[in-house]
Amino acid sequence: MKKQLLVMLSIVALPISALAGDITKQEVEAAQLAWGNGIVKIGKAEDPKKAAIAHIDRFYGYDLGTVLFKPTLASVDQFRGSEKEALSYFIGQDMEEDKGFALAPYTAVRWENEAIILNGDTALAMGNYFFTGADGGVTKVEYSFGYIRDENGDLKINLHHSSLPFSAS
């Protein structure tokens, strides 16, 4: 009798992020565009709080670990390490200096990347973004964002630092 060789295949469950591969420049640029559209959406929403919560949940990695968030117009409470603090910044609720940045409302957000650094499942981007107000005025803001992948393969922000350009006056 011939011996039969039994080969067993095992299926290993991998998180989607392991299958998604390295973060690409196109993914970072798409995340930036979507983030900007989300800011515009908050300002137009009937329920800005609900829209801001959805924005934070969609774009920030608070559920994945530490998020380093230093908003543009924060000077007293400079850093927003929790979702609640981020929400306050976007819609102005808990922290005295917060006036509701995302309620401006803005009509557009345009990005100019100085550079995007891709490093496997992380990415960094730095440059300027420009917020167009309802009156047509444009505000230039400097930014650095860090991105990681979540378990669904989506990019989440784990570093957000923004500030107004230096003025010697």
Domain ranges for the chain: 20-163
Record: fold of 20-163:
Nuclear Transport Factor 2; Chain: A, (3.10.450)
Q: What is the pLDDT of residue 26?
A: 97
Provide the edge-to-edge strand list for the sheet that holds 106-119. 68-70, 155-163, 138-149, 122-133, 106-119
Q: What is the pLDDT of residue 97?
A: 60
| pTM score of the predicted model | 0.83
Q: What is the pLDDT of residues 57-105, one digit of tens each?
A: 999 999 999 999 888 877 777 778 788 888 888 887 766 666 666 778 9
Handedness of CA 69, 74, 75, 81 (dihedral sign): negative
Low-confidence ranges of the chain (pLDDT < 50): 5-15, 17-18
For 9, the token pair is 């295949």
For 37, the token pair is 């559209």
